[in-house]
Chains A and B, each alone.
Chain A
Amino acid sequence: MWEGELAQEVWAYNESFPGPMIRANRGETAKITFKNNLPAHSIIHWHGLVVGTENDGQPQHAVHTGGTYNYDFEINQRAAFNWYHPHPHMMTGEQVYNGLAGGFIVNDSEEASKNLPAGKYEVPLVIRDASFSKSGALLYKPTSGGFLGQVALVNGTKDPYLDVDKAVYRFRVLNGANSRVFGLELSNGAPMHLIGNDGGLLPASTDMARIDMGNGERTDILVDFRNYKPGTKIMLRDARSGWDILEFRVGNTQEIPFYASLPISSDIEKLNSPVVTRTFSFDGMTKINGKVYEMDRIDWTVKRGQVERWVFKTNGNAPHPVHIHGASFQIQSRSGGRNRVFAWEAGWKDTVLLEDRETVTVLIRFDNFVGRYVMHCHKLEHEDMGMMANFEVVDQ
């Protein structure tokens, strides 16, 4: 489309758009140095990884151009598809949009025992939107309501296809868009077998015709291509925009054995008996409980090890994908709006989609670390305008 025209510039981690896929096992220790060669301050946040404050990559940790930041943390959590992205105050949206995002897969023995598809049959899909000039330059023109691009990109690829064998594939999907919510479905109406989300495997896997994903959310799905004729084309589609996102092209191959037994199940501790209830109103496009984010202000404290009930409300201007650092949570209820908790919201979550007129209740417990964390709207333009708050986890 833009052959022979101007250079296409992105902001990339290690010259890769999206960034390289980091993979590690539970119990291993990550030692990572972030080098900032951007013309702006930045810091990396490990979205979904529960780490201490100094390793969390919060706005106050941002380093200037030419600076470095060292991370050193044990990966002490269950298998899941996490991700990493910038988190500097007021600049996260622009930096993620320019290309700074990547996946971070954690594996563990429980997941390994499920015999899920691996190798070439385990494919990460980082889905986002973007707008381009005719010369191929990324265009970012955010508004207070967010930013919606004109085309979809998957793993940085526009109009992508994937040649697939007659096999079951595992797709680890991330909504890496700044503001766009995706409603994923297959063009032939075939089911996607949902096995996991932000926090890893679900209590029980299930077939889904459609999966909605807010910004920052992940889903883990199996798609069975074994029974299609060679040459069949199936589209992964966004039901909300009508976009065709990714074309699967079934090849003329031998059928690949599938060793997992469905449904996939996982024992997940159920949080209960909250001792504190807190209510957070996501107001307009810039505030939580009437306050715009200030980097040096702590808005509430939480006792470590204590189960709390957090209630998220909105007066409008949703969607507000609510993301909490420092712990995962379990969604208890949603009233108003869509008025239900969806299958992809079972188990552990770190981000939950709050639509207009909805009230979402979650249970959360901060087990691992004391220190300072943030909660914010993951519509990145909202976050940048101040829909974020600091809180502190303290010992009892």
Chain B
Amino acid sequence: MQKPIVEQSKRSIIHATSWIIFVLYFLIIYGLLWWSKIGRSVSIYDALISSLTITAITYIVYSSQQYYIPNKRNYWKLFSLAAIFALISITITRFIIVQFLPDEELMYLNFSLPFRFVINFLIITCVMTINVFWNIQEELLSNKKRKDESEKMVRDAELYNLRQQLQPHFLFNSLNSIIALIGNQPKEARNMVFQLSDFLRGTMRKDDKQFSNVEEELNHLILYLDIEKVRFGHRLDTEIDYHEELLKANIPVMILQPLVENAIKFGLYNVTEQVTIKISLTLDQQLLTIKIYNPFEPNQYEQKKGTGFGLSSIQRRLYLLFGRTDLLQTETQGNIFISILRIPQL
């Protein structure tokens, strides 16, 4: 939709420069002839004819090079083209003037041809340069637009996919636990079905928005943790530490839960004893910081730079949302692994 506007402003630039050139050229030639004491009857015609010719030539230059962008090595072509155009303009001017004026008055004309050539050459070079710059600008603009568009497309698709990873493993294991509970502890089983359906509803509801508040995300997380606790029994323990004030802070949807999920996997699958997952949230100067602590076996894992398994997709999502790569970091303290998530409050 932007194209017509660009084209329109290009056309007006062509008209404006052409007619400014016409007026200035007329005045300069007329002035120079007057200075050289050429008769007014001759100089008026001369100035008019030469400025009309140069204006016509600029129009030709503009229209013939509408989308032309020379390569780096081809700039000499531009100059020789300008020279040719200058030569043509001089020839035409002289041809027309000769038709109008008596020969005896034209002594000065041949004498002035080299000067006219140089002036025309410079003007045409200027016009061509402006034209090329304009074309380059236009190309950059459309390139950028295309790039933005494709990036947006990729972004949408990616966000969609990331969100779709609904962890079938989690779902089926939970269903298995429920089936196991139905026989002996029907009340517990019923409770877990409620939790699971609340959790699933929460996951689906969030499909259309990118951001939510901490309160909603924490509630969702607690549902998830409750289900995991039923699955893993006494082995899993959680602590959540936060201040009431930050419950209204913004947070991208479905970013906390996969992170905690990762911590649980990391913790439960590497430590056989009881596992405590600690989550602490703080809000400081427009920056929400969430730290997730889980135990792990330090010597079993490569201290990869940045993030471990499972965190890269979260990292990617944060980048797409905030354009920053430093929002998710990890560190270790002894046998405690800490994931640190920072959410700028926009």
A and B part of one assembly: no
